[in-house]
Amino acid sequence: MELSDRILNVEASQTMAINDKANLLRAQGKNIIGFNLGEPDFDTPEFIKMKAIEGMEKGYTSYTNVSGLLQLREEICNKYKREYNLLYSPEQVIVSNGAKQILYNVLQTIINPGDEVIIIAPYWVSYPEMIKLAGGKPVVVHTKEENDLKAKVQDIKSKISKKVKAIILNSPGNPGGGVYTKNQLSEISNLVVDNNLLMISDEIYEKFQFNDNKYISIATLGEQIKARTIVVNAMSKTYAMTGWRIGFAAGPENIIRKMGIIQGHSTSNANSIAQYASWKGLANRKLDLEIKRRADEYKERCDIMINKINKIPLLNAVKPVGAFYVFLNIKETYNLKYQDYLINDSLSFAKALLEGAGVAVVPGIAFGMDGYVRLTFASSREDINVGLERIERFIKKISV
């Protein structure tokens, strides 16, 4: 059977090989420290779990509106008004199965064959493949450590052509950990407005920012950019609800409505019980304190991880300002050998580290930037300490 060009054009996640191997080693009884997962090690707050039970008991068990329960969309509007003074109506909001489906829907809505979308490397793994699935072409802007793994506005500008439809911005970034400043955001916003583009602002890590600045959503920088921005968010990371699959977006009504048409013919609505619990969770101000507590804990774990990395020869990392990942530069280990593995890229480093130290990390090539691996510090302090000690021993072993 001949498969579609669409699927043949898309790559499977390069992170799976390491994950499969890690699971195999675990099944053989080996102790593996997993720094590879992109999810909080905290559990969903008890309040939200209880509200899911209440939702079932109250009969929130049927299809909802395709775009989500009205009360949840109203609560999302309240969040944006309260936190950013951004005004949206429920018709400008859609709820989907995670931020992933939001991004998928928006790209399906705006891309024609051959259209280009600008993404910034290191980028979240699914952006390029989702763009390709929609028939578009990802155009990659590269970044440097000296710019904190954030794109220079000039570099974004040089990629803009008539074919470019949109820019995806992810601040705080996965995996780079960069947070764009107000000046940088306003320069990018001028580019978007002047070139008639759409801004897809992936703000899923908004609550995990480690400096004292207030988080800035690009949509707050004026009516013109707001009218061209799809703000993407989710319950997943903020509320440690990755398995519940609730993401949401706010933006121009015509695009949001069309995203709903795609969703209506693919998955209908997001899970009704998870929507009910999310509505109650977003409305509960006491949970803000819990989220802040978790953000403070991530900040401390980030410090622990970076301090340990700074003491290990051959490894370097830019200190993240947000999200919960360290993007570790491993280029100085190139040409060293662990048993029969010659380390010459991020994949060979990740394989050698897994075999030699029992530590699972994600190769940077999955994020469009070889020479790096991603470690998450949404892991327990104990795992961070033990995992980094193992990495240090491994580096010393292969350096002799």
Under the rule (CB under 6 A), what is the footprint of ligand PLP? Answer: 38, 98-100, 124, 170, 174, 202, 204, 234, 236, 242, 247
In angstroms, the CA 261 to CA 2 distance is 29
| Nearest residue (CB) to ligand PLP, 120 versus 164 | 120
Residue-wise DSSP of 230-287: EEEEESTTTTT-GGG--EEEE--HHHHHHHHHHHHTTT-SSPHHHHHHHHHHHH-THH
| Nearest residue (CB) to ligand PLP, 96 versus 346 | 96
| Nearest residue (CB) to ligand PLP, 170 versus 217 | 170
| Nearest residue (CB) to ligand PLP, 217 versus 348 | 217
CB hemisphere CA count around 262 (13 angstroms): 21
| Nearest residue (CB) to ligand PLP, 124 versus 338 | 124
Question: 3-class SS at 165?
Answer: strand
| Nearest residue (CB) to ligand PLP, 201 versus 220 | 201
| Parallel/antiparallel/unpaired status of strands 198-202 and 229-234 | parallel
Q: How many residues does the chain have?
A: 400
- Counting Cβ atoms within 10 Å, is residue 12 exposed (0-12), middle (13-18) or buried (19+)? exposed
Contacts of 104 (CB under 8 A, 6+ apart): 130, 133
Of 277, 239, 383, the C-alpha closest to 50 is 277
| Nearest residue (CB) to ligand PLP, 99 versus 153 | 99
Radius of gyration of the chain measured on its C-alpha atoms: 21
CB of 312 to ligand PLP, least distance (A): 26
CB of 15 to ligand PLP, least distance (A): 11
Residue nearest ligand PLP, CB atom distance: 98
CB of 247 to ligand PLP, least distance (A): 4
Tokens for 238, please give them: 């903020």
